[in-house]
């Protein structure tokens, strides 16, 4: 599935680059939205806790998703989505964890929007349900 996704993204980028027309512009916008990755800015606070700003990088633009979270974040690989209850249609997922608690985040694409979902997790307790956290429009 991952290879198919990458092939579709590559095809969309090549198609958008090959011509300047309305259809190409739509394909270009779709490919930009399909290319979302995480970026984490982490520093230690005065108590030694990791404080992280979580960004979604979309088309070269960094969009702040979570501010000053006490956690270390890592990207969740697509092959691990199932174990994190992330849908296979997600285009990116990550997890933040610190001292027995944290959060899972994932992103899906709907039309010309990216929708970020979050759930909180605690050690020894069944994780809660995901809820919508943020909507990112292609026009921003």
Read off the pLDDT of residues 58-83 as tens digits, 9 standing for 90 and up: 988 999 999 999 999 999 999 999 99
| pTM, rounded to two decimals | 0.74
Distance CA 76, CA 133 (A): 18
Nearest 5°: phi and psi at 85? 60, 30
Of the listed ranges 1-15, 48-62, 114-128, the least confidently predicted one is 1-15
Percent share of the chain, pLDDT over 70:
74
Distance CA 119, CA 32 (A): 26
């Amino acid at each position: 599935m991952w290879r198919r996704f990458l092939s579709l993204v590559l095809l969309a980028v090549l198609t958008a680059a090959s011509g300047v027309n309305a259809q190409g512009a739509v394909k270009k916008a779709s490919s930009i939205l399909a290319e979302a990755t995480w970026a984490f800015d982490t520093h230690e606070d005065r108590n030694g806790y990791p404080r992280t700003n979580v960004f979604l990088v979309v088309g070269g633009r960094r969009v702040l998703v979570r501010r000053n979270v006490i956690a270390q974040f890592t990207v969740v690989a697509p092959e691990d989505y199932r174990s994190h209850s992330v849908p296979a249609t997600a285009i990116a997922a990550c997890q933040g964890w610190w001292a027995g608690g944290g959060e899972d985040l994932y992103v899906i694409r709907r039309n010309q929007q990216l929708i970020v979902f979050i759930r909180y997790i605690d050690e020894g307790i069944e994780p809660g349900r995901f809820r919508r956290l943020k909507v990112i429009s292609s026009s921003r």
